[in-house]
Structures are given as structure tokens and as C-alpha cells.
């Protein structure tokens, strides 16, 4: 799909994207690169990183891959420093690395719960913590260009509750808190904008194939009126907006990009039936004599 944005809206900028080798993270890397940014991607799997970097380079994007696990502070520090050494500045950190699997609360071990908290929540904070030095106004490589941007990929699961996702719901709730608190503290002190994106079900991603395998997916459509899949492109366009100058006054928000999916409710009654019913109820209450108990009617 063609981008509605100018090809140079993030020209000369440098992006560090965790989980940038696959899924939503890779699409964000691609779109940032196509709009002029140089891209460093961080991931645990060497092969995935290598093939992602060569795919980006084949599009003419300046890209580099750094192996690392966001759960390890020494990896976070090394990758942030390597990105700075390689490109001479860092303008945006995108925390897209995430862990996920479906499991009922009773079958989830505390270590399984902790593992996802460690990747999503602690990992996001660790990356922000290590990147602060380079993102803050006046930091290395920033000259007079103001502070940088942080973008955290979240979810909508925790707005209500989600079956078999207690660990991820808890982790993403923490991510949203990190977004707001850093927006307050680092927005005020360092001119860094911190925002989030909460994607709905996005097609062709590792997340979707893990969390909504086809057999679940087809059933979900029956009881979720707004169920439709988004594209990775939808998320990347929002990321571009938040990264670019167009988003310069946006700080501390988590943008929901899900086609309204999280608002889905089953329709218990058709529009026609509700019209009839509602009129009948009105009529009954109009006809009811004042002061006569319902039991006597």
C-alpha cells in the first residue's frame, strides 16, 4: 500500500527498534526506512535479524542488526551504544519486542507469568533507561535538535479482560503506565515524547498466529461484530505519525489502532426487534395509570 506521507518525513533520523526483525516491528522498520530514517533492529535470533537486515537493505534502506535480549540489561546497554556508535545519534526507540502464548490462568506457572512481564514490561523499561542518555535534549549527537521519541507497542487486552492472556494483559497494563509516567517525567525534564500504540488483531504476524489460530479466529468473528484484521501497515503509518513532526504535541497517549475491535459486543437483538420492543414498552408505560402498583395492572 502506498504511504500517504512524504518520503522524507523522518529523513536523517535514526531509529532503534526492538523486535524489529519480524511482524509489526519489521514493518515499522521498513516504513521508517522508506521515509528516510536509518534503522537499527534488535532481536534474539541471529538468522531472523540477518534476513531482515538484508531485506531492508534491498529496499535501499540503511539498516543494521544487533543481537540481544531486552531481558538482559547488558544487552540493552550494548545495543543502544552500538546503535549510537554506528549512526552517531538515536532519535527514536521503538519497543516492539514481546512474548506471548495462550494459557489459562490456572495452567500458567509463576515463571511463565514472569517471563512475559520480563520481556514486555521490564524489557521496555530497561531499553528506555539505557536509551535516555541519547534521547534527551542536548544528549550525544542531538546538538540543538531537541529530545527524541519513545514508542511502546502495547495491546487492548487489559482494557477489559482477555481469556488466557492474564500474563500479557498484566504486562501491557504496565507498559501503558510506563508510557504515561515517562511522558510526564522525561517530557518535562528532557523534551522526550513517549507514546504507545495498541494494535488490534493484525494479519500475518507471529502474534496473531499464536493467539488466534484459524480455528479460534473463525469463531471469534461470529461473536465480535467489529472483528476484522488490520494490516501491519496500519500500525507502521501510526508509528510514522507519532515519530514525525506531525506528532510533535502528542505525548503520553496510547493510540488504539484496531478498527474499533475492543468495543465489540455481541448484538443481542436486531435493530427491527428493538424498534418494536422499545415502542411497546413506551406504550405500556404511557397507558399505565399513575400511582397504580404494577402488580394491580
Q: What is the DSSP string of 148-169?
A: -EEEEE--SGGGS--TT-HHHH
3-state secondary structure of 35: coil
Looking at beta carbons only, is 107 or 272 nearer to ligand COA? 107
Of the candidate spans 4-12, 31-39, 157-165, 203-211, the one that interacts with ligand COA by CB under 6 A turns out to be 203-211
Q: What is the pattern of x (binds ligand COA, CB under 6 A) and - over residues 225-264?
A: ----------------------------------------
Q: Does 3 bind ligand COA (CB under 6 A)?
A: no
Q: Does 210 bind ligand COA (CB under 6 A)?
A: yes
Angle of helix 23-34 relative to helix 232-243, nearest 10 degrees? Answer: 50
Q: How many CB atoms lie within 10 A of CB 217?
A: 15
Contact 123, 97 (CB under 8 A): yes
Q: Does 115 bind ligand COA (CB under 6 A)?
A: yes
Q: Does 201 bind ligand COA (CB under 6 A)?
A: no
Q: Does 55 bind ligand COA (CB under 6 A)?
A: no
- Phi and psi at residue 67, in whole multiples of 5°? -75, 140
Which position among 20, 33, 43, 99 is part of the footprint of ligand COA (CB under 6 A)? 99
Looking at beta carbons only, is 3 or 115 nearer to ligand COA? 115
**How many of the chain's residues bind ligand COA (CB under 6 A)?**
14
Looking at beta carbons only, is 108 or 132 nearer to ligand COA? 108
Q: How far is the CB of 23 from ligand COA (least distance, A)?
A: 7
Q: Does 123 bind ligand COA (CB under 6 A)?
A: no
- Phi and psi at residue 38, in whole multiples of 5°? -90, 145
Contact 67, 90 (CB under 8 A): no
Residue 288 grid cell:
399505565
**List of residues 6+ apart from 193 with CB closer than 8 A:** 147, 149, 150, 183, 187, 242, 247, 248, 250, 251
Q: Does 111 bind ligand COA (CB under 6 A)?
A: yes
Q: How far is the CB of 50 from ligand COA (least distance, A)?
A: 17
Q: Strand 193-199's sheet: what is its strand order?
A: 63-67, 38-43, 14-18, 92-95, 149-153, 193-199, 254-257
Looking at beta carbons only, is 5 or 164 nearer to ligand COA? 164
Q: What is the pattern of x (binds ligand COA, CB under 6 A) and - over residues 59-98?
A: ---------------------------------------x
Q: 227's torsion region: left (phi>0), alpha (psi -120 to 50) or beta?
A: beta
Residues in touch with ligand COA (CB under 6 A): 98-101, 103, 108-109, 111-112, 115-116, 206-207, 210
Amino acid at each position: 500500500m502506498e504511504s500517504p506521507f512524504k518520503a522524507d518525513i523522518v529523513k536523517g533520523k535514526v531509529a532503534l527498534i526492538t523486535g524489529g526483525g519480524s511482524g509489526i516491528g519489521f514493518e515499522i522498520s521498513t516504513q521508517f526506512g522508506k521515509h528516510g530514517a536509518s534503522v537499527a533492529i534488535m532481536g534474539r535470533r541471529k538468522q531472523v535479524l540477518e534476513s531482515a537486515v538484508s531485506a531492508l537493505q534491498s529496499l535501499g534502506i540503511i539498516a543494521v542488526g544487533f543481537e540481544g535480549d531486552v531481558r538482559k540489561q547488558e544487552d540493552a546497554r550494548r545495543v543502544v551504544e552500538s546503535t549510537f556508535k554506528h549512526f552517531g545519534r538515536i532519535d527514536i526507540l521503538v519497543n516492539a519486542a514481546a512474548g506471548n502464548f495462550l494459557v489459562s490462568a490456572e495452567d500458567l506457572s509463576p515463571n511463565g507469568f514472569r517471563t512475559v512481564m520480563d520481556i514486555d514490561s521490564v524489557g521496555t523499561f530497561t531499553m528506555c533507561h539505557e536509551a535516555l542518555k541519547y534521547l534527551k535534549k542536548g544528549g550525544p549527537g542531538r546538538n540543538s535538535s531537541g529530545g527524541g521519541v519513545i514508542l511502546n507497542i502495547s495491546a487492548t487486552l487489559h482494557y477489559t479482560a482477555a481469556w488466557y492472556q492474564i500474563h500479557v494483559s498484566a504486562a501491557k497494563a504496565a507498559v501503558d503506565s510506563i508510557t504515561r509516567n515517562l511522558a510526564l517525567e522525561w517530557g518535562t525534564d528532557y523534551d522526550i515524547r513517549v507514546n504507545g500504540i495498541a494494535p488490534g488483531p493484525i494479519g500475518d504476524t507471529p502474534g496473531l498466529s499464536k493467539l488466534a489460530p484459524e480455528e479460534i479466529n473463525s469463531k471469534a468473528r461470529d461473536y465480535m461484530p467489529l472483528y476484522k484484521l488490520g494490516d501491519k501497515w496500519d500500525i507502521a503509518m501510526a508509528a510514522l505519525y507519532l515519530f514525525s513532526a506531525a506528532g510533535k504535541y502528542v505525548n503520553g497517549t496510547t493510540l488504539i489502532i484496531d478498527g474499533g475491535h475492543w468495543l465489540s459486543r455481541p448484538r443481542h437483538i436486531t435493530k427491527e426487534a428493538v424498534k418494536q420492543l422499545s415502542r411497546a414498552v413506551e406504550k405500556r408505560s404511557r397507558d399505565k395509570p399513575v400511582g397504580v402498583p404494577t402488580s394491580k395492572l
